[in-house]
Amino acid sequence: MTGPIKTVGVIGAGQMGSGIAHVCSLAGFNVQLHDLSEDRINAGLATINENITRQVAKGVISDAEHQAALERIRPTLAYDDLSACDLVIEAATENEEVKRKIFTNLCPSLHPDALLATNTSSISIMRLAAATDRPERFIGIHFMNPVPVMQLVELIRGIATDDATYESAQEFIAKLGKTSTVSEDFPAFIVNRILLPMINEAIYTLYEGVGSVEGIDTAMRLGANHPMGPLQLADFIGLDTCLSIMQGIHEGLADSKYRPCPLLVKYVEAGWLGRKTKRGFYDYRGEQPVPTR
């Protein structure tokens, strides 16, 4: 039987990892935050501090809770420091080879009963579990971005994931104050299986000249009541991420309707990846975003 989760390890201090560490520490879990360099960890800790400070300013949490949360996070560069963790969540870059290597190197440091999870948005849970020494104690825990704000977490069982692991993961998500939904282990799970083809279709709509960037985003914001237009959302997610998820769906399901739009490929090849590079479907270098088409 799996014991209660008290200490959580997070591998990767980037956007997703720092967000996961943030919500875990605020919910009262001790967190070990791991990355390859001190600079990356410090950047992650700075982001966490900034985001929690924003929550204090909004009156969502108190100063005391802010301080207590920060004190619960311990930075580490060594896998051996994760030996006391009850659950370790991998939130490294969305690359299967990188993730498999992490699991292979990490497993010898873990407690035999520790649960292992991946925050992948589209890679097969079964294939990642096969790179570990505990496929039955392995599960997909896919947080949405930005983690502190988004309410949903997808839980994805691999073919070997046992009931105790799944139940522990469900309890853990509930303690974070979030809602879990269960997905089968198919390419892109639920949210991205529906969302990314919609974004891809919006890019085709632009590519075929049906509408302009502004026209498409306005249409979906006001016509479908979406909080953000699909092209604006693509820039926020990162066009490289959108492309890699579409490629994963296309390859995994072998259906031509999931073919990534050539315009998306062109933008990624140009290095126009959205907000993070200051250019995508919008140009973010000025005061206001300006459509690039």
Contact 91, 23 (CB under 8 A): no
- CA distances in angstroms from 227 to 110, 212, 219, 220, listed in the order given: 42, 18, 11, 9
- CA distances in angstroms from 33 to 6, 20, 69, 116, listed in the order given: 14, 10, 13, 15
Catalytic residue, from 124, 183, 192, 200: name it.
192
The answer to whether residue 154 is catalytic is yes
Q: For residue 152, which of 126, 178, 170 has the smallest C-alpha distance?
A: 178
Which residues face 291 on adjacent strands? 282
Catalytic residue, from 154, 180, 183, 200: name it.
154
Contact 11, 90 (CB under 8 A): yes
Catalytic residue, from 22, 34, 142, 250: name it.
142
The answer to whether residue 192 is catalytic is yes
Run of H or E including 250: helix 239-253
Contact 185, 156 (CB under 8 A): yes
- Parallel, antiparallel, or unpaired: how do β-strands 73-76 and 179-183 relate? unpaired
Catalytic residue, from 25, 51, 121, 244: name it.
121
Residues in the chain: 293
Question: Rounded to the nearest 5 degrees, what angle is found at the Cα of 209, between the Cα atoms of 237 and 211?
Answer: 65
Alpha-carbon distance of 232 to 1, in angstroms, equals 46
Contact 16, 37 (CB under 8 A): no
The answer to whether residue 142 is catalytic is yes
Which residues face 140 on adjacent strands? 118, 156
Residues with catalytic function: 121, 142, 154, 192
